Amino acid sequence: MKKADLSVQVGKLKFRNPVLLASGTVGYGNEMSEFIDLNSIGGIVTKSLSLKPRKGNPPQRIVETPAGMLNAIGLQNVGVEEFIKEKIPFLKKFNVPLICNIAASTYEEYVECTKILTREDAITAFEINVSCPNVKEGGLQFGNDVKAVGKITAGVKAVTNKPIIIKLSPNVSYISHFAKVVKEEGGDAVSAINTLVGTAFNIITRKPKIHNVNGGLSGPAIKPIALAKVLEIKQSVDIPIIGIGGIMNWQDVIEFMIAGSSAIQLGTVNFIDPYAAVTIIKGLEDFCMKQGIEKISELTGSYII
C-alpha cells in the first residue's frame, strides 16, 4: 500500500509532517538530539529568546498537578547574541525547519530581536510569544490586549520576510479576536494555545508551591480547552493554526487536526518521553494507511458539527 503523505502546509511554511516540538520543551535542540533524529520531525521551535540573556525565576519553578504541571521558568534564555554564536551552528547541522520563538518585554524589543535574527539563514520562521504568563512585564499583558498583539504583529512583519506565527494566550475571553487581528496585520499563522494561568498551595505552610505564585498549566489536563480554542479560531478566522495543548499521543494529534490545526506542537510530553515525536509520527502514518487517508492535511478542519 502507498505510504500516506504526512507533509503539511502552514501558510507559506512547508513541514515534512505536522509534528513540531514546542518552545521551551526542546531547549536549543542539543539534548533532544541525543534521543531522536531531529531530521525526522516536522520542525523545532526554540526556547523563547529575548534581546539580552534572562536569568529566569528563582526556584521553585515547577509543580506537578493532576494530569498536568505548572511552570514558571521566567523565560530563562541565553539572549540573541549567544543564540546566534553558540546555538545556531549546532542547529544548522540538521535539515529541519527552525522556528525561532521571541519573547520580549517591550514592543521595541520584539522588533529589534526579529530584525537581528532575520539575517540568520538557518531560521525558517518566527513564533512571537505574546502570551507568557510568567514574567512581570510584557508577556501576558500583551497577550491580553488585542491592540498590542496587532501592533506587535505589524511591527515584526515590517522587519522580516520570514513567516510570522503569533503564539496566542488562552487566558482571554475570545481567542478568535486575537487571531483576527493577527490576520489583519499580516501575520502568517497563529499557534494556540500557550499555557493557562494556574497556581497551587502547600496546605501546611499555606504558601504557593511556585515561587512566582502563578505558573502556566500544561499537559493533558488542558487538552479539551486547547481543542475548544483551536475550534473557535477555525470557525471564525481564515488563518492557519498550529495546535498546542496537552498532546500525548497520535490520537491527540488527529483530534487537533480535525478541530482545525494544520500542524501541532508537542510540549510537556517531551519532558516525559523524549521519543514521543518519533512514536507519534509513526502512529499518524499507520492511522492514515488504515483509514485510507492519502494526505494527512485533509484532516485539517474536517470536523462534522
Partner 1 sequence: MFITKAPVEKVIELKNHIFILKIFAPEIASIIKPGEFLNVKVCDSNFPLLRRPFSVCDVEGDFIFLMFNIFGEGTKILANKHKGDLIDLLGPLGKGFNIEGDYDTAILVAGGLGVAPFPYFIRKIGNSKKIHSFIGGKTDKDIITYRMKNITISTDDGSLGIKGNVVELLEQNIEKLKSERIKIFACGPNAMLRKLRELCIRHNLNCEASIECAMACGFGICQGCPIESVNYPDKYLLVCKNGPVFNIRDVVI
Task: Count how many Cα atoms sit within 13 Å of the Cα of residue 300 in the half-sphere of its side chain.
Answer: 22
Going by C-alpha positions, the residue among 17, 5, 69, 36 that lies closest to residue 265 is 17
Report the alpha-carbon distance of residue 94 to residue 89 in Å, rounded. 10
In the complex, minimum distance from the CB of residue 67 to partner 1, in angstroms, rounded to a whole number:
4
For partner 1 (CB under 8 A), the number of binding residues is 37
Cell of 68: 498536568
Map the footprint of partner 1 across residues 197-226, applying CB under 8 A.
219-220
Map the footprint of partner 1 across residues 26-55, applying CB under 8 A.
26-27, 31-32, 34-35, 47, 53, 55
The full DSSP string for 209-227 is SSTTS-EEEESGGGHHHHH
In the complex, minimum distance from the CB of residue 133 to partner 1, in angstroms, rounded to a whole number:
15
Q: Could you tell me where the beta strands, DSSP code E, fall in 219-258?
A: 241-244
CB nearer partner 1, residue 141 or residue 279 = 279
In the complex, minimum distance from the CB of residue 258 to partner 1, in angstroms, rounded to a whole number:
21
Do the beta carbons of residue 83 and residue 23 sit within 8 Å?
A: no
What string marks each residue from 275 to 304 as x (binds partner 1 by CB under 8 A) or -? x-----------------------------
User: Is 270 near partner 1 (CB under 8 A)?
Assistant: yes
**Region near partner 1 per CB under 8 A, out of 159-167, 173-181, 224-232, 270-278:** 270-278
Going by C-alpha positions, the residue among 67, 68, 75 that lies closest to residue 23 is 75
In the complex, minimum distance from the CB of residue 55 to partner 1, in angstroms, rounded to a whole number:
6
Question: Is the previous residue joined to 60 through a cis bond, with omega within 30 degrees of 0?
Answer: yes
Q: Which amino acid is at 91?
A: L
Determine which one of 100, 113, 132, 288 is catalytic. Answer: 132
132 is catalytic: yes
In the complex, minimum distance from the CB of residue 180 to partner 1, in angstroms, rounded to a whole number:
33
Distances (CA, A) of 47 to 237, 254, 290: 28, 25, 36
What string marks each residue from 60 to 99 as x (binds partner 1 by CB under 8 A) or -? xxxxx-xxxx-x-x--x-----------------------
Q: What is the CA radius of gyration of the chain?
A: 18
CB nearer partner 1, residue 103 or residue 166 = 103
In the complex, minimum distance from the CB of residue 63 to partner 1, in angstroms, rounded to a whole number:
7
CB nearer partner 1, residue 62 or residue 116 = 62
Report the alpha-carbon distance of residue 246 to residue 227 in Å, rounded. 10
**What is the bridge-based pairing of β-strands 98-102 and 68-71?**
unpaired
Contacting residues toward partner 1, per CB under 8 A: 24-27, 31-32, 34-35, 47, 53, 55-64, 66-69, 71, 73, 76, 219-220, 248, 268, 270-275
Query: Which residues does the annotation mark as catalytic?
Result: 132
